[in-house]
Structure 1
Amino acid sequence: MTVVVVEHRFLQLSEVAEELAVSDSQVYHMVRSGELPAIKVGGRGQWRVERAKLEEYISRKYDETAEWVRSNPLIDKEAP
């Protein structure tokens, strides 16, 4: 028996929060601030994040973190 896993193109904010291991409210703020691209759909205007945009966001965060690490080297302080 073959199991087919279907990945949806769009994610709910709660699913994004689970993927990033953060709270729903943090994801909502990221979307509302424009940090994470999203769309509003349906009559009630529910937010959805395209999986590809989430992957781009994660990649961008890796790049930003690497730059931050380069700019803020860990300095071992030797005890006298």
Structure 2
Amino acid sequence: MRTFLTLPDVAEALNISMSQTRALIQRGDLEGIQIGGRGQWRVEEAKLDEYIDRLYAEQRQARAEQKSS
């Protein structure tokens, strides 16, 4: 079963503001969907995990590039 988070949940998990959370979704950095008549945003927990994993990978690569230069 999929688990969906609200934007406040995502903001809390990442320790960022709601506006930063919305910007991540609008830019496509973090995948989210709008559900229901009021268009409430939800982020699948797995998508949040993928986003975090991608950030770790990018930072590892940046550190490796710094060491090799």
Q: TM-score, normalised by structure 1?
A: 0.78
What amino acid does structure 2 have at the position aligned with 1:65? Q
CA RMSD of superposed structures (Å): 1.2
List structure 1 segments (4+ residues) > 3 angstroms apart after TM superposition: none
Report the identity percentage: 47
How far did 1:68 drift?
A: 1.1
Number of the residue aligned with 1:33: 27
Number of the residue aligned with 1:20: 14
Alignment: residue pair count: 66
Q: Which has the higher contact order (CA 8 A, sep 6+)?
A: 2
What amino acid does structure 1 have at the position aligned with 2:39? G
Aligned residue runs from structure 1 range 51-66, under 5 A: 51-66=45-60
Q: TM-score, normalised by structure 2?
A: 0.89
Larger radius of gyration: 1
Number of the residue aligned with 1:50: 44
